[in-house]
Amino acid sequence: MLRYINVSYAVNGKTILRDVTLEINRGEAVALLGKSGAGKTTLLKIGAGILKPTSGIIERHVSRIGYIPQSIGLIEGATVLENVLIASGNPLGIFTGRWPRHLIEKAVQVLRQVGLGDRLREPVANLSGGEKQRVAVARALIYGAEIILADEPVSNLDLQTAEDVLKLLIAFKENGAVLAVLHDVDLAIKYFDKGYRLEGGKAYRIW
């Protein structure tokens, strides 16, 4: 679904990625590991099309990519339901605050799917870190993303919550595939089909 071929990325004369080749196939959950500053976020942003590689090729065999940044990227003052509706891509609703009934029904359905059916009217600011990650997954679902690129989706979460969020992310494989940046190798091995480690700008397949 997503393939990096000899991708390099440099900024201000500093090479962050060198000749990275890796692929995420349909039905796969792929973990990306590596020390702080190794280039994991940069790699994800290139996959999402936010950054352009300095050289190399990105092949995308998907039309919709869901990108969940480290900051999660929710609108804190808006409700859980509004945050999901905004991701549905209906431009009128964003300006008028009025959404077609079918979209509201769909938003409620994806929020139930991620276990937040009883928090629809809650401002996102009131949610815990794990619950915010769930909203982010619900946004990807209503958007119709085929692949999720998630940047450290479980950092700062306790183990139980981290496992719950990972199970939810992994379930997204049914829609396509998942690429997630993780720090915990044990969790990565437990839940992910494939793992790469970034080191010195290069990607090494570790399982």
For the record, the structure tokens of 45 come out as 């942003």
Of 42, 34, 49, nearest to 12 (Cα)?
A: 42
User: Which of 141, 166 has the CB closer to ligand ATP?
Assistant: 166
User: Within a 10 A sphere around the Cβ of 49, how many other Cβ atoms?
Assistant: 11
User: Does the footprint of ligand ATP cover residue 200 (CB under 6 A)?
Assistant: no
**3-state SS class at 184:** coil
Q: Determine how β-strand 65-68 pairs with β-strand 202-205.
A: unpaired
Residue 2 CB, shortest distance to ligand ATP, in Å, is 17
Q: Determine how β-strand 2-11 pairs with β-strand 14-24.
A: antiparallel
User: Which of 114, 148 has the CB closer to ligand ATP?
Assistant: 148
User: Which of 42, 88 has the CB closer to ligand ATP?
Assistant: 42
Among 1, 18, 39, 88, binds ligand ATP (CB under 6 A): 39
Residue 29 CB, shortest distance to ligand ATP, in Å, is 19
User: Does the footprint of ligand ATP cover residue 40 (CB under 6 A)?
Assistant: yes
Among 15, 27, 37, 76, binds ligand ATP (CB under 6 A): 37
| Site stretch for ligand ATP (CB under 6 A), options 32-40, 95-103, 110-118, 165-173 | 32-40
Encode 171-183: b = buried (16+ Cβ within 10 Å), e = exposed.
ebbebbbbbbbbe
Q: Are 143 and 89 in contact (CB under 8 A)?
A: yes
User: Does the footprint of ligand ATP cover residue 22 (CB under 6 A)?
Assistant: no
User: Does the footprint of ligand ATP cover residue 71 (CB under 6 A)?
Assistant: no
Among 36, 63, 156, 160, binds ligand ATP (CB under 6 A): 36
Q: Counting every residue, how long is the chain?
A: 207
**3-state SS class at 12:** coil
User: Does the footprint of ligand ATP cover residue 178 (CB under 6 A)?
Assistant: no
- Name the site residues for ligand ATP (rule: CB under 6 A): 11-12, 14, 16, 34, 36-42
